[in-house]
Amino acid sequence: MSRVNKELSMSQQKKLLKLFLKTIAITMAVCTVVIGVGIGAYYGFIYDGKKAKPDGTLSAEDQEKEDQKQAVSVINQTIAVFGIDADETRTDVIFVVNFNSKTNKVKVLSIPRDTKVEWTETQRSKLREYKGTNIYTTKINEMTAYGGIENIRDFTINQIENMLGVKIDNYVIINLEAFRKIVDTIGGVEVDVPSRMYYRDRAQGLFIDLQPGLQLLDGSKAEQLVRFRQYLNGDVDRIQVQQLFLKAFAAKIMSPQTITKVPQFIPILFSYIKTDVSLSQIAAYYPFLQSFNMNYLSFNTLPGEGRYEGGISYFFPDRQAMGTLIEEVFFDTAVAGETITTSGGLNAGTEDKETPSAPSVDKTVTIEVLNATGVSGIAGRTKDTLEKQGYKVERIDNYSRSNLENTIIYAKDVRKAEQFKEYFKDALIEARTSIDYDIQIVIGKQYIN
């Protein structure tokens, strides 16, 4: 992609990088870096400059381009996003992202790095061909350590496709240096660190020292947050924290202040990103991203449990639960934002699509309400409102910070948090296993405006 960089004028670079900023907020960091760059390049160099024949019609070549342009209005693409470790051999962060312009949703599935995999005969044959070695069982993040990052499609991506039963259209790889630089370039990311994080590993050069609470993380501290691993539930808790960071990162990227930093992203993009996405493939994302609503971005984690086998800690997927989740993530047909009228028909002007299911209601959950508005009495009023609806609020208090804008609903099981969106419509929902109650509602200023 370095050749493309040389051919772009500064104005073109700024234009395509603005597209990148919106995209990165939607698909979490790296995967959309490439999409944003490609969109700008594709529309700048392929779709512009159409030539009409004397009779006013387009030439065969330009007509083909126009047909391609129309064809990209509907997409359903799945991209694997990998974050690699310090020595750039293992895929320590694995996301599978599904874009669906028909439903207007982006869904993200996290795969724990310790997931146990049995190498297939085809994979072992390729490993013998490439490296002259033979492996039978590893963790999924180790497949590139044995087979090489350059062969990621033959091993890790092939394994993901076998495991999920879906086709991976493209992949994007980002290293730690790019991660740090991007976070620093946007001025850091404000994150509510869920717990005390302290860890030292001189062999890896890894030094983690974070206090709990809302704080601005620079690139170095953001790396500490996403790399911390000392959790009760291992990889599952680690993934929840990574998703917490990515949502905050998306919010920062979408802010108007970030747009002014566009030119500073250029060297980062072209120096640290590896991908097999082509410019022609990327064009499909443009119309989709123009109208995408961040409320329709969702995060999921491969179901299963971590346990030791043969003295090694693995994550074992729950095959039965996986089937349901895979259907929801990769084969969803419900259009985002569609509602049903009381007569049972769709609102006027919409097509007849599958209706999204309402969140399940569980009024036995334990609830804590914390006031972060700076206005006294809000937690008590919220408690009264919820208890009139049949819930039981176990505790109310002031939050450690009293100037939060957004209401946040923390939950041990995010599915049980969805029912509270009826009362806090614009609230953010975050997974947090360290809270004392099933649900922790932190009331922000938006609730009283």
State how far the Cα of 83 lies from the Cα of 77, in Å rounded to an integer: 20
Average pLDDT over residues 232-247: 80
Q: Does position 405 have pLDDT exceeding 90, yes or no?
A: no
Contact 365/393 with Cβ under 8 angstroms? Answer: no
Looking at 3.50.50.60, 3.90.79.10, 3.40.50.10190, 3.40.630.190, the CATH number of the domain 1-187+215-357 comes to 3.40.630.190
SS3 383: helix
Query: Span 95-104, mean pLDDT?
Result: 85
Q: In the chain, what are the domain boundaries?
A: 1-187+215-357, 366-447
Alpha-carbon distances, residue 188 vs 3, 28, 193, 195, 395 (angstroms): 30, 15, 14, 19, 33
- The answer, yes or no, to whether residue 356 has pLDDT greater than 60, is no
Residue 358: the pLDDT is 54
Q: Are 421 and 427 in contact (CB under 8 A)?
A: yes
Exposed e or buried b for every residue in 27-60, given b needs 16+ CB within 10 A?
bbbbbbbbbbbbbbbbbbeeeeeeeeeeeeeeee
Strand 297-301 relative to strand 273-275, pairing: unpaired
The least confident of 102-116, 172-186, 327-341 is 327-341
Whether the predicted pLDDT of 168 surpasses 90: yes
User: What is this structure's pTM?
Assistant: 0.59
Least confidently predicted of 2-11, 23-32, 177-186, 437-446: 23-32
Asked if the model's pLDDT at residue 70 lies above 50, the reply is no
Q: Quickly list DSSP for 5-41.
A: HHH--HHHHHHHHHHHHHHHHHHTTHHHHHHHHHHHH
Mean of the per-residue pLDDT values of the chain: 75
User: In percent, how much of the chain has pLDDT > 70?
Assistant: 68
Q: Cα–Cα distance between 283 and 23 in angstroms, integer?
A: 13
Q: What pLDDT does residue 260 have? A: 60
Report pLDDT digits (tens) over 261-310.
655 665 666 677 788 876 556 555 655 555 556 677 788 889 898 899 99
